[in-house]
Amino acid sequence: MSLRFSVLSSGSTGNVTVIQNENATVMIDVGLSCKRTEQLLAEQGLSGSQIDGILVTHEHSDHIKGLGAFARKHKVPIYANESTWGALEKHVGTIAEENRIVMQTGEARDFNDLRVESYGISHDAAEPVGYCFYDGETKLSVTTDLGYMSDKVKEAIIDSNVLVMESNHDVQMLRMGRYPWNTKRRILGDLGHLSNEAAGEALCEVVTGNTSRAYLAHLSLEHNMKDLARMTVKDVMEDHGHFFKESEFQLRDTHAEQPTEWDIVHAKTVMQR
């Protein structure tokens, strides 16, 4: 088995992603109930007992809703930085001391031969992070829940073989939507979420000839549509000179109610663009 992953659920109703190689299986966040997370894992041929660790991005409920229950039931270690631990502890209940592990922002951890590195992002949480995963020469990066794409984030995720990238909202749909202005301002701000346009601009700077696919994630149910997100990101990339063939680079969907198919991440032996 090579490095592979499945986005079990993505969006404001809950976020869970599972990453696996031959010798380790980890999850990013448990933003659904324990029961629903178990159901989605089962659809992908996994059980909670196979999870070696849960990596927390931040403490918002759509990322930690089932975290405490799942970790206690399956005795899974939780990894988060100290600030995130301080913010989430009151929401997840008692966690056994041996399963409460501090992984500071910028730190790398090895789960057997699966290496994980965290990096800081901009969001209205205590100390939010994204994660990069390495198995030999292969690299997968997962980046959601950020208001803008900083140079440090670009540096962390550039040249990934596969990316999971936030494409949260269409700006016009959000502006015309029913949310109060304070909420709209938060989403549109530097501590909010990436728009479709911003996702496209970010991908222009981090996609190289080694990048095969980008999954558009954390789409708003009210202020976005999958077809619109893909079309907008593609148009922005083409406007910046990134014309690509489907055989070379693909934009793919994530879903709120069902997992993506297992995707095997391969390293590409080509020159960077």
Q: What is the pLDDT of residues 159-177, one digit of tens each?
A: 999 999 999 999 999 999 9
Is residue 270, in this structure, part of any structural domain at all? Answer: no
Inside any domain, residue 156: yes
The domain containing residue 103 runs over which residues? 4-264
Cite the beta strand spans of 122-228 per DSSP E.
Answer: 129-135, 138-143, 162-166, 213-217
Q: Distance (Å, rounded) from C-alpha 161 to C-alpha 262?
A: 15
Q: Is residue 241 assigned to a domain?
A: yes
Partnered with residue 195 across adjacent β-strands are: 169
CATH number at residue 199: 3.60.15.10
pLDDT in tens, 68-109: 999 999 999 999 999 999 999 999 999 999 999 999 999 999
d(CA 196, CA 184): 15
DSSP 263: E
Q: Which residues contact 240 (CB under 8 A, 6 or more apart)?
A: 200, 201, 204
Residue 173 domain flag: yes
The answer to whether position 115 is within a domain reads: yes
Rounded to 5 degrees, φ, ψ at 127 are -155, 70
pLDDT digits (tens, 9 = 90+) for 33-59: 999 999 999 999 999 999 999 999 999
**pLDDT, average across residues 176-202:** 96
Structure token digits, residue 112:
């057997």
- Mapping DSSP to helix (H, G, I), strand (E, B) and coil, where does residue 166 land? strand
Run of H or E residues at 205: helix 196-206
pTM, full prediction? 0.95
- For the chain, how many structural domains are there in total? 1
